[in-house]
Amino acid sequence: LKTWLAPFIMGPINTRVVRRSNALFSAHGNGYGPNFRYHEYMECRPPFSYPKALSISMGLRVADQLFKRPLGRALIRWLAPKPGQGPSEASMDNGFFRSRFVATSDEGLSIMATLSSKGDPGNRVTVKILCESALALALDDLPTDCGSGGVLTPATALGDALVKRLIDVGFIFETQVIDS
């Protein structure tokens, strides 16, 4: 993609969910098997791509160290927004969310999928996804071959029903071949 990347704050959690989905799908012949790898990063766009990526990376390392110490946690609590504070309605309405996923096959074909939606990612987008997930659980025909063995992921439990619901509320899914 010829761009600088930085660690994404939710990456450590999201990667485990994606890998769990693949393991559950693979157990039923629908996954990508043992060669599947998944990593998650934040794209740092120009100008100043390298300094942005470096600053984010260093900032996350500092935050990680602060969270490990009582004084650091107290400092973060003091600096963080208090309950009831947060972004304005206008800010949440005018925000946006875009994730790009790049997949490369064993044969070297690369495809980029983009998922986007209007609204602040931490407030509007997450709430839409949670509400549509609840509606899918309550109202839709869901996959019955999603396996067993503990906790299911959104992909294995809700499947295409959630994708359809998200498209119906304005999420945009796009794919394109970027290398062949």
pTM of the model: 0.83
pLDDT, mean of residues 91-113: 91
Q: What span, in angstroms and rounded, lies between the C-alpha atoms of 64 and 136?
A: 36
Question: What percent of the chain is predicted at pLDDT more than 70?
Answer: 97
Whole-angstrom distance, CA of residue 179 vs CA of residue 167: 27
Nearest alpha carbon to residue 5 among 60, 56, 63, 58:
56
pLDDT in tens, 30-74: 888 788 899 999 999 888 899 999 999 999 999 999 999 999 999
In the chain, which ranges are continuous DSSP H helix? 11-27, 49-67, 70-79, 89-94, 126-139, 154-168
